[in-house]
Amino acid sequence: MKRKVCVLTSSRADYNHLYILMNKLRESKDINFKLIITGMHTLKKFGYTYKDVINDGFKPSFIIKTNQKNLNEKGIIEAMSIQLEKAYNAIKKIDPDIFIVLGDRYDMYPFALACHIIGTPLAHFHGGEVTSGAIDDALRHSVSKLADIHFVANKEFEKRLIQMGEREEFIHNVGSLGIDAIKKMKFNERDYLGKINKKLEKCRYFMVSLHPETIDGNNHRLVKNILTSLKKYKNFIQVFSYPNSDAGSNIILKEIKNYIKSNMNSLLIPSYGREEYLHLLRYSEFLIGNSSSGFIEAPYLNTPTVNVGIRQKGRPLTNSIFNASYACSSILKCIKTSLNYKKSDNIINYEGKNTINTVLRILKTVKLNDIKNKSFVDIK
């Protein structure tokens, strides 16, 4: 009998990583592949990106709309409470042998919790990582404790899960699916960027990816100082993306929209397509903001990152990542350094060997009998 494996995708960000796995699961003769789409994918404000998933040929068993009326703490709590019942109903209906989640977003937490309560084996990607400037950090660790099978991206993250009492035989250091996808991707020449905007074919540009800091919460200072610094670089095309759906994103988006009104050389893109984003990142002068992409995909593509603030505090650094404080002087110094960055052999903290095939083999063969009978493993 085929093993039934269900994947959850809740945003463009996790889909960029999960796509390669979803494709392999769909093609496998040994897997009965199921899919649930939810979260930011289902919100009009972020471009209804569930359509991109369907356009890639995937047929979801459920599209569960996120009822998030407000991008604040109350709105998130309300949405999560509603999602929990919907998650329970969908998982019970599909009845998968393994349920897969990736990352640390609150959109997926109700599904992880429902799996735990129902008794469905849960596989989690990117556990053991640290981002101490966001509520995502605690959510990630919580999901790791709910999970039964762990796919981590390097040895350091594996060690953290062992510290958390997880069983070593179910922790697999495989690297990042996102890096594996880049390795297998065929990149077009730069004129491909003209599909996004004609200005990008020949003009120098950089990308801005900025999300709320949900621990410190001083998002006014964060966005205003970044935008003030960017005014000195109006000779570049500045490509902005929407912040994610965390509390505080409205503050950031409002400031970005006001900035763009007075800067003709700036673009605001609600959501990128999977290949569009990687092409933009590859040819960009640098990426500025506080996105995890600056720590995972950008270093592999040897694109410098100007990381501002504490949202990603705790992630391992590479030669191409430059940390800035909130001060404009610090931000400007890091921009200057990134523009002078000479591309060379970079440290890749999230790279594995044959990641996708290793993951597929484990999903097909891992023994599920009594996998839910977890015991806390003390460090001796």
Both 146 and 214 in one domain: the answer is no
Neighbouring-strand partners of residue 151 = 125, 172
Give the CATH number, domain containing residue 282: 3.40.50.2000
Q: What is the pLDDT of residue 168?
A: 96
Q: What is the pLDDT of residue 96?
A: 98
At a CB cut-off of 8 Å and minimum separation 6, what does 128 contact? 144, 150, 152, 156, 157, 158, 159, 160, 161, 164
Residues 320 and 299 sit within 8 Å (Cβ to Cβ): yes
Q: What is the pLDDT of residue 247?
A: 85
Both 85 and 123 in one domain: the answer is yes
Say how far apart CA 164 and CA 161 lie, in whole Å: 5
Q: What is the pLDDT of residue 201?
A: 86
Q: What is the pLDDT of residue 71?
A: 74
Q: What is the pLDDT of residue 233?
A: 97
Is 15 among the domain residues? Answer: yes
Both 203 and 59 in one domain: the answer is no
Is 81 among the domain residues? Answer: yes
Q: Where are the beta strands (DSSP E) in 51-137?
A: 62-63, 98-102, 122-125
Q: Amino acid identity, residue 255? A: E
Both 151 and 220 in one domain: the answer is no
| Dihedral pair phi/psi, residue 129, rounded to 5° | -90, 165
Say how far apart CA 65 and CA 86 lie, in whole Å: 9
Both 143 and 212 in one domain: the answer is no
Both 152 and 279 in one domain: the answer is no
Domain hosting residue 196, numbered range: 190-339
Query: What's the domain count of the chain?
Result: 2
End-to-end CA distance of the chain: 40
Is 371 among the domain residues? Answer: no
Both 57 and 120 in one domain: the answer is yes
- Which whole-number Å values give the CA distances from 331 to 227, 253, 339, in the listed order? 10, 20, 12
Both 119 and 197 in one domain: the answer is no
Residues 243 and 249 sit within 8 Å (Cβ to Cβ): yes
Both 109 and 208 in one domain: the answer is no
How would you write the pLDDT of the chain (380 residues) with one tens digit per residue? 899 999 999 999 999 999 999 999 999 999 999 999 999 999 988 889 999 999 999 999 999 998 877 778 898 899 999 999 999 999 999 999 999 999 999 999 999 999 999 999 999 999 999 998 889 999 999 999 999 999 999 999 999 999 999 999 999 999 999 999 999 999 999 999 998 899 898 899 999 999 999 887 689 999 999 999 999 999 999 999 999 988 889 999 999 999 999 998 999 998 888 899 999 999 999 999 999 999 999 999 999 999 999 999 999 999 999 999 999 999 999 999 999 998 877 788 999 999 999 999 999 999 999 999 999 999 87
Q: What is the pLDDT of residue 347?
A: 81
Say how far apart CA 107 and CA 103 lie, in whole Å: 10
Both 154 and 212 in one domain: the answer is no
Q: Amino acid identity, residue 318? A: T
Is 344 among the domain residues? Answer: no
Using only the alpha carbons of the chain, give its radius of gyration: 20
Say how far apart CA 97 and CA 112 lie, in whole Å: 14
- Tokens 């500025």, residue located: 288
Say how far apart CA 285 and CA 193 lie, in whole Å: 14
Both 59 and 92 in one domain: the answer is yes
Q: What is the pLDDT of residue 271?
A: 84
Both 196 and 269 in one domain: the answer is yes
Say how far apart CA 304 and CA 331 lie, in whole Å: 14
Q: What is the pLDDT of residue 242?
A: 94
Q: What is the pLDDT of residue 217?
A: 67
- The torsion region of residue 118 among left (phi > 0), alpha (psi -120 to 50) and beta comes to alpha
